[in-house]
Structure 1
Amino acid sequence: MARIDVPEDSPFGPDHLPYGVCAPRAGERGGARVCTRLGDVVVDLSLALDDPDFANASLDAFLARGVRHWRDTRDRLRALVDGAIPDAAVHPLAEMDSLLPIRIGDYVDFYASIDHATNLGLLFRPDSEPLLPNWRYLPVGYHGRAGTVVVSGTDIRRPRGQRRTDSGAVDFGPSRRLDIEAELGFVIGVGSALGTSIATGEFADHVFGVALVDDWSARDIQAWEYQPLGPFLGKSFATSMAAWITPLSALESARIPLPDQHPEPLPYLRETENWGLDIAISVSWNGTLVSTPPYARMYWSPAQMLAHLTVNGAATRTGDLYASGTVSGPDPSERGSFIELSWGGSAPIALNGEQRTFLEDGDEVVITATAPGTGGSRIGLGEVRGRVLPAHER
């Protein structure tokens, strides 16, 4: 039996205990299993808790069992890590590969930051109101492509598509304005039947936890295609998700009221609990910190997003993912995308002695985040990392 000593300042201490799926690196024996992370080790939960739901390459079987089982399992896990853990269940993080932790059936991306929406409105419609008339009435969103959600650390191939040139001509080729979007994703544990809806007060009965997301965006492809039906090829080529899902129960101390909403939301969007989240996000570009978006500024809560997603009777399923949209704040240093940081390319960013606007081949972006933990510590969400590869040539 092993006791795991974790430094008090570790972002992966006993107040956190996120869930992921790990497998031994190539050449080692053993298959993928559901694990938790404690400091710099991972714990195989199929062995540590003797639970067959964890002997899988996905969290889905565990998630489908519901909120009472999630809480009971967390209590068992807390008791386990405070004592001794079977030696066979403990592995150094460095010797394991992290896999996509859920089987994603559907993916929805929202547009819930008032600062991000205002910035893009000013960029794209400088002579009009930055927010469109519906923005304060409903959480605007679109359906993304679940099949191109990849786990953190996966290289991102530069997309190709149609682009409109400065002269007004239309050509085809690799995106010249490749961007990132720092977001927070929400993982559905218990779905809802077709024709039903989920109330804001039922949010925690359906959503298991959160994970950082980077919704890669080809701004030039997007700008030409998005009217009148919205994003398509400019967004569908890749979305990166953290390997570790932080359960909502680890974020109790991070819950805060939303900013004031005007006008008052319609009845189905009114909240009965506080589901604003005090999460501090950091964006690093080639090793340089370039932005610190504050999730606490988000206008729409994840409970409101889920209520709107299902109010028309749309079904949800275990493993579905929906994300907040770009997280940005009012200060220029808090913008969660490079189109905002560079103000549409007109204000280059100083990066390692260069003046940069959008991503070049070989660039790497790392998104991290921290939040208040339940025991007075500060927990760290699993990172999202991705490196840009050149476009495929045909």
Structure 2
Amino acid sequence: MAEPVLRSFVAAANAPDCDFPIQNLPYGVYSRAGGAPTCGVAIGDMIVDLAACEARGLIEAQGTFSSPRLNDFIALGRPAWDKVRADLTRLLAEDANPDLPLVPMAEATMHLPIEVTEFTDFYASKNHAFNVGVLFRGPDNALPAQWTHMPIGYNGRASSVVVSGTPLHRPMGQLKGESGPVWGPCRRLDLELELGAIVGGETELGTRVSVAEAEAMIFGYVLLNDWSARDVQAWEYQPLGPFQAKALGTTISPWIVTSAALEPFRCAGAERVDPLLPYLQEERPGLYDLTLGWTMNGQTMAETNYNVMYYSSAQQLAHHTSSGCPMRVGDLLGSGTISGPSVEETGALLEMTKGGKSPVKVGEAERTFIEDGDEIGLYGFAKGAGYRIGFGPCTGTILPAKE
């Protein structure tokens, strides 16, 4: 006989399509009108004020929830994460009736949940890497020789990571002209559907971590849109890779879904092509059964699953330290664009429109790339028995370039 689904006294949290049931309890930073940003946990249509909870002695986190960012709490480590999660689950249960400080989500403004110390973006979906490689190099040379042996990535700009709802201006840049570069606004602006991992542990310069150790260091995950100026990238990326094409902005969702909340949905990823070197081998499957998709101006454009990925976040983190590179609490690791095998599962317009050659319908209009005024939204959730673990909104609107 199946166990009954755990329920909360917050009624909205018990709806089967609610992103924030008691099984989730994601962390974020919010403020109310006239107030300072503070840490909270989402439950149904409410936010638990964590600083107020700690002040009342309901939870213990060494005063870290009074900070306007979650880094100090995350730095306490997994025992503290587990204890606060267990206490909140007890306090929010259906048969509990504590005088909890709850704030309606409708009255809250969400902020960047962490101080992003560093940002690294990877390229870990075989479908995406192959599709993009075909556009530029043909099917015989689509994947670089090293792709099936290690996670490929680049160091991005932490300073341009923004929270959901922040509008971004179309970037200006050097573009390839008929006889050399021209200066102008990006003409081929794109999105990238990704999942971002929040690093919750420190390593020292010269230290490497195993995949298992890396997994234990990951606090949780956010939806991530790594906006991409494809024409700027095409002109600049050889031989050192993306630079200004990726610096215009990276949007993340305001709620961090913890690795503990996703644990029941752990699963294997894409079939391995080549055996990995020992330092990248996993002791257990490292991906999650997560439905992920994106919308343009409210219209669903594509939907896929995180389990199509070739490398997990733990493998990416282990590889990141393989040179002895130090990691810090608040580092953000982007998964890379997540795409399934069909056009309806692609996580970027570059793939969906075959490099701009096959326009797609958005309402009554057509698109090859993003136009000014377009709003891109990402969504993601895992389905449990009678509940779902969701990430909430991750949206951004493109404004005209500042010429």
Same fold (TM over 0.5): yes
1:170 CA drift (Å): 1.6
Structure 1 position 249 matched with structure 2 position 260: yes
Distance in structure 2 (CA, Å) of the matches to 1:224 and 1:105: 29
Q: Could you tell me which of 24, 27, 31 is aligned with 1:19? A: 27
Distance in structure 2 (CA, Å) of the matches to 1:127 and 1:76: 53
- Residue 86 of structure 1 corresponds to which residue in structure 2? 99
1:127 CA drift (Å): 6.2
Segments of structure 1 that go 5 or more residues without pairing to the other structure are none
TM-score for both structures, normalised by structure 1 = 0.95
Output one character per residue of 1:223-248: Cα deviation in whole Å (capped at 9) or x when no partner. Answer: 00000000000001100011000000
1:263 CA drift (Å): 1.2
Q: Could you tell me which of 22, 34, 42 is aligned with 2:39? A: 34
Output one character per residue of 1:299-349: Cα deviation in whole Å (capped at 9) or x when no partner. Answer: 111111011000110000011100100000001100000111111000000
Q: Is the 8 A contact 2:19 2:392 kept in 1?
A: no
- Which shifted more, 77-86 or 270-279? 77-86
Q: 2:402 corresponds to which letter in structure 1?
A: H
Distance in structure 2 (CA, Å) of the matches to 1:196 and 1:356: 47
- Residue 114 of structure 2 corresponds to which residue in structure 1? 102
State the SS of the aligned residue for 2:392.
strand
Structure 1 position 345 matched with structure 2 position 350: no
Q: 1:74 corresponds to which letter in structure 2?
A: R
Distance in structure 1 (CA, Å) of the matches to 2:224 and 2:392: 10
Distance in structure 2 (CA, Å) of the matches to 1:86 and 1:378: 26
Distance in structure 1 (CA, Å) of the matches to 2:391 and 2:316: 21
Distance in structure 1 (CA, Å) of the matches to 2:147 and 2:44: 41
Distance in structure 1 (CA, Å) of the matches to 2:83 and 2:47: 20
1:5 CA drift (Å): 1.7
Distance in structure 2 (CA, Å) of the matches to 1:128 and 1:221: 26
Distance in structure 2 (CA, Å) of the matches to 1:314 and 1:376: 43
- Residue 158 of structure 2 corresponds to which residue in structure 1? 146
Q: Is the 8 A contact 1:48 1:85 kept in 2?
A: no
- Residue 175 of structure 2 corresponds to which residue in structure 1? 163
Q: Is the 8 A contact 2:207 2:326 kept in 1?
A: yes
Aligned residue-pair number: 386
Q: Is the 8 A contact 2:116 2:331 kept in 1?
A: yes
Q: 1:244 corresponds to which letter in structure 2?
A: W
Distance in structure 2 (CA, Å) of the matches to 1:268 and 1:122: 30
Structure 1 position 391 matched with structure 2 position 398: no
Structure 1 position 4 matched with structure 2 position 10: yes
Mapping of 1:369-384 within 5 angstroms?
369-373=380-384, 377-384=387-394
- Residue 4 of structure 2 corresponds to which residue in structure 1? none
Percent sequence identity is 40
State the SS of the aligned residue for 1:382.
coil
Q: CA RMSD in A?
A: 1.4
Mapping of 1:222-237 within 5 angstroms?
222-237=233-248
TM-score for both structures, normalised by structure 2 = 0.93
State the SS of the aligned residue for 1:293.
strand
Distance in structure 1 (CA, Å) of the matches to 2:351 and 2:397: 20
Q: Is the 8 A contact 1:211 1:382 kept in 2?
A: no
Structure 1 position 336 matched with structure 2 position 316: no
Output one character per residue of 1:32-68: Cα deviation in whole Å (capped at 9) or x when no partner. Answer: 1110011111110111243421111000111001111
1:11 CA drift (Å): 1.7
1:3 CA drift (Å): 4.5
Structure 1 position 313 matched with structure 2 position 324: yes
Distance in structure 1 (CA, Å) of the matches to 2:394 and 2:179: 36
Q: Could you tell me which of 135, 142, 150 is aligned with 1:123? A: 135
Change in 2 beyond 3 A, CA 1:378/1:265: same
Distance in structure 2 (CA, Å) of the matches to 1:49 and 1:298: 39
1:377 CA drift (Å): 2.1
Q: 1:120 corresponds to which letter in structure 2?
A: V
